[in-house]
């Protein structure tokens, strides 16, 4: 870790749609000169100053100018931080240099990435370096995939308490969700689709539930790509983010030493059925920098049930709920609070982690206290 750093956290991309939401949360929860020292970073000092004023941050909130394509600026930013939070995506286009530099410098890195093929590239290229330098690299620190990764962790902990052991089968079933996409997320999806079409290796990662567990291949998993009937909840249909979340859940299991078993089976579906809409069906999509309004974010919610099934058929059911739009209202808080939790966890060694595997129950507790997420057991 960079113990001589000026800032605990630098938020890179603070002038973007999602970055601004993260900055708002940090201002409201931690101020500037309190227990947390942090700065806002981006390409334009003028734009950063404008956002600082708009979110009501103190005028002395530090600003750092850095461009993802400028190695000198990136190095200067990284050299003054213990951790970098980045919301500058698509990460496969703008994140590779930052991950490499953080890994080499022993500086923590956190993002909201939902691009598994790129994550696998970063694991292959930088995990050994991160371990040696003490850098903790955490991808996917938002609703996708933390609500699901930690939801499985909580379900398994509940199974241990109620059934006496973890279980080999967990189903995640989305009961309801309301929220809209941002232009950044749309750009990430488009970039991923283009990369997968042109690269057989990336395509193989996307197709495999174990694409993020190099060296380990578990049992066959449910495809989850068709409308069907689940005997535990009724009609179900595909969930668009399942190909991302399931990979992170299996990586989390591997990183923790397979506490769920090496034969663990997991899938995600939406209760009620329905087809995944095509891009053409979604109408006009937001451009980068655009996203749901504050009113739309506040009107959002999500509710996921987790069904943990023992080998003998016994079950426990748990749920994860949130009180705002999952993709942005919730994810911005989750990302910020994961960074705070990591800063307070010097026992977590360097490496490329999932948030849940790195922080486990500490992160569950923090999200419940500060990010509007509830983890509960259903009777």
Confidence of residue 281 (pLDDT cuts 50, 70, 90): low
Q: What was the pLDDT predicted at 31? A: 85
Q: What was the pLDDT predicted at 68? A: 87
Whether 358 and 153 have beta carbons less than 8 Å apart is answered as no
Q: What was the pLDDT predicted at 283? A: 58
CA distance 317 to 97: 42
Confidence of residue 121 (pLDDT cuts 50, 70, 90): very high
CA distance 357 to 320: 17
CA distance 191 to 89: 10
Whether 219 and 263 have beta carbons less than 8 Å apart is answered as yes
CA distance 137 to 131: 9
CA distance 20 to 375: 27
Q: What was the pLDDT predicted at 264? A: 98
Task: Identify the CA nearest to 332 among candidates 356, 378, 298.
Answer: 298
Q: What was the pLDDT predicted at 181? A: 61
pLDDT per residue as tens digits for the range 25-76: 999 998 877 778 999 999 999 999 999 999 999 999 999 999 988 999 999 9
Confidence of residue 145 (pLDDT cuts 50, 70, 90): very high
280-300 CB burial, b ≥16 within 10 A, e <16:
eeeeeebebeebbeeebbeeb
In the predicted model, is pLDDT for residue 330 greater than 60?
yes
In the predicted model, is pLDDT for residue 192 greater than 80?
no
pLDDT per residue as tens digits for the range 342-364: 999 999 999 999 999 999 999 99
pLDDT per residue as tens digits for the range 362-378: 999 999 999 999 999 99
Residues 6 or more apart from 215 whose CB is under 8 A from it? none
In the predicted model, is pLDDT for residue 246 greater than 60?
yes
In the predicted model, is pLDDT for residue 187 greater than 80?
no
Confidence of residue 202 (pLDDT cuts 50, 70, 90): confident
Whether 77 and 12 have beta carbons less than 8 Å apart is answered as yes
Task: Identify the CA nearest to 98 among candidates 35, 224, 33, 10.
Answer: 10
CA distance 223 to 207: 10
How many CB atoms are located within 10 Å of the residue 374 CB? 13
Token representation of residue 179: 């929220």
Q: What was the pLDDT predicted at 2? A: 67
Q: What was the pLDDT predicted at 217? A: 97
Mean pLDDT of the chain: 92
Q: What was the pLDDT predicted at 292? A: 84
Q: How many residues does the chain have?
A: 379
What are the residue ranges of helices labelled H in the chain? 17-30, 45-54, 71-79, 91-94, 96-105, 116-133, 148-163, 183-198, 200-207, 242-255, 294-299, 331-343, 355-370
In the predicted model, is pLDDT for residue 275 greater than 60?
no
HSE, side-chain direction, 13 A CA sphere, residue 258? 10
CA distance 359 to 348: 8
Q: What was the pLDDT predicted at 284? A: 65
Q: What was the pLDDT predicted at 344? A: 95
Which pTM value belongs to this model?
Answer: 0.94
In the predicted model, is pLDDT for residue 111 greater than 70?
yes
């Amino acid at each position: 870790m960079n113990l001589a750093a000026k800032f605990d956290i630098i938020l890179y991309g603070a002038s973007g749609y999602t970055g601004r939401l993260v900055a708002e949360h940090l201002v409201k929860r931690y101020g500037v000169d309190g227990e947390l020292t942090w700065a806002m970073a981006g390409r334009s000092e003028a734009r950063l100053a404008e956002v600082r004023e708009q979110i009501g941050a103190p005028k002395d909130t530090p600003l750092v100018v850095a461009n993802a394509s400028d190695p000198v600026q990136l190095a200067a930013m990284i050299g003054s931080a213990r951790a970098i939070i980045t919301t500058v995506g698509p990460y496969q286009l703008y994140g590779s240099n930052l991950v490499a530099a953080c890994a080499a410098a022993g500086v923590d890195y956190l993002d909201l990435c939902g691009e598994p093929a790129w994550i696998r590239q970063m694991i292959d290229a930088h995990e050994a370096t991160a371990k040696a330098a003490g850098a903790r690299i955490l991808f996917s620190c938002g609703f996708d995939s933390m609500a699901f990764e930690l939801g499985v962790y909580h379900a398994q902990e509940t199974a241990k308490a109620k059934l006496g052991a973890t279980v080999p089968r967990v189903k995640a079933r989305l009961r309801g969700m309301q929220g809209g996409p941002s232009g950044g997320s749309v750009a990430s999806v488009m970039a991923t689709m283009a990369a997968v079409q042109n690269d057989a290796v990336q395509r193989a990662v996307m197709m495999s539930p174990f694409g993020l567990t190099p060296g380990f291949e578990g049992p066959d998993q449910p495809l989850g790509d068709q409308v069907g009937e689940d005997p535990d909840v009724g009609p179900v249909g595909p969930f668009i983010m399942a190909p991302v979340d399931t990979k992170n859940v299996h990586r989390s299991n591997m990183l923790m030493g397979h506490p769920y078993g090496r034969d663990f089976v997991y899938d995600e579906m939406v209760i009620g059925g329905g087809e995944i809409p095509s891009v053409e069906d979604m109408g006009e999509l937001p451009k980068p920098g655009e996203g749901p309004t504050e009113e739309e974010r506040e009107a959002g919610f999500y509710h996921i049930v987790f069904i943990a099934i023992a080998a003998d058929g016994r079950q426990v059911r748990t749920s994860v709920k949130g009180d705002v739009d999952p993709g942005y209202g919730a994810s911005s808080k989750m990302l910020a609070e994961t960074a705070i939790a990591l800063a307070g966890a010097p026992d977590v060694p360097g490496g490329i982690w999932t948030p849940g595997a790195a922080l486990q129950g500490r992160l569950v507790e923090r999200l419940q206290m500060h990010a509007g997420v509830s983890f509960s057991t259903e009777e």
